[in-house]
Amino acid sequence: MIDDHCNNEWAGKVGAAWGDEEDSGQGKLEKTAGHTIVPISPAQLDVWKKAVEPVYGQWVKAADAAGNKGQAALDDLRKELASRKAN
């Protein structure tokens, strides 16, 4: 049972539905609760990305120490995110 449902296909189904629900909630927050959703600017996003860079280095070191190819895994993730325009 677990193997049939704990896989990439199911993660995509659950993740997509979850994301859609979160996105639909933004309009509800604005209309019913009076909240204002303020998107971050590209400049703000760049600041966030620079701030988190040290975390990537720490993760790569930890992954390498656990016997994995940390930088290769991170590079693969970044390529996948870029291919899906999720970066």
Interacting residues of 41 by C-beta distance below 8 A, sequence separation 6+: none
Give 45-86 pLDDT, tens digit per residue. 999 999 999 999 999 999 999 999 999 999 999 999 999 888
Over residues 5-15, the mean pLDDT reads 80
- The predicted model scores a pTM of 0.58
- List C-alpha distances in Å: 30 to 20, 34, 48, 80: 16, 5, 25, 32
Secondary structure E strands in 19-66: none
Contact 59, 74 (CB under 8 A): yes
